Amino acid sequence: MNISKGERPLESGVRTDFRDAMSYGSYLRLDLILGAQQPLSAPAHHDEMLFIIQHQTSELWLKLMLHELRAARDLLDADQLSWSLKRLARVKRILETMTEQWSVLATMTPSEYAEFRTILGPSSGFQSYQYRAVEFMLGNKNADMLAVFEADPPAHETLHTLLEEPSLYDAFLRMLARRGYAIPADLLDRDVRQAWVEAPDLIPVFEGVYDDPAVAWDVYEACEDLVDLEDAFQFWRFRHLRTVQRMIGTQPGTGGSSGVPFLRRALDLTFFPELYSVRARIGG
């Protein structure tokens, strides 16, 4: 065999025949994934491919995030706090990746986006059921959102199920109660279909955790991990807002929302408010 200078020879053990064996592409179903980018602009605008891939990859990360959040909640239910925190650590890294991903879409100028925006019709990221599912898992529940997904029965069923189930925070508080923490009974018995709102009676519980972290270091660590998780989610929201603002300014969103003002209001939402409020009492 003649090998040209600089060429790396194929090792003798490397398999090359996959006619009757599973290959990398077949395992990952790359035929489906790489065939799913179908620009609708005619002629196809160069930047529509970026727009499609940006959102498709976001949906894949959201799918993994839901997978990890469900596992984290189940592990809390099983009193396996350390394993649950391992799952949440992965969620934080996913959010960091998704936040950085906005920088790629931000390379698209308003003029370039305007070339194909009209072909999106009323479709919008607002209609991402997986994003809503993540919010439901984290406690920001809103039954009215289910109406958006009535035309998509599987998505509607997913959200309805999560609406009826305890959130990650509910599971955390129930685990603390089983460990002897004085979680108010009304919080343990609350209607989990409702969005979480700050419970002042819960703050003294966390104040005790922060006053002496050594008593239960894993609980202290869990509180900080939840704050990390919310911060990561808020950074993702903020980067989304700034990217949208950069691309469409004050124009309304394609799905009928007000656009940037709608996204800005989302920054006021919080998943674990007591873990922020308790900070005003530490070291005072």
Annotated binding-site residues read 51-55, 113, 117, 240, 254
Half-sphere exposure of 268 (CA within 13 A, CB side): 5
Judge whether 274 and 206 are in contact, CB under 8 Å. Answer: yes
Judge whether 262 and 253 are in contact, CB under 8 Å. Answer: yes
**Beta-carbon count within 10 A of 89 CB:** 15
The annotation places the binding site for substrate at 51-55, 113, 117, 254
Phi, psi (deg, nearest 5) at residue 41 = -70, 145
Residue 147: both structure tokens together: 């109406």
The annotation places the binding site for heme at 240
DSSP state, residue 195:
P
Cα–Cα distance measured from residue 111 to residue 113, given in angstroms and rounded to the nearest whole number: 6
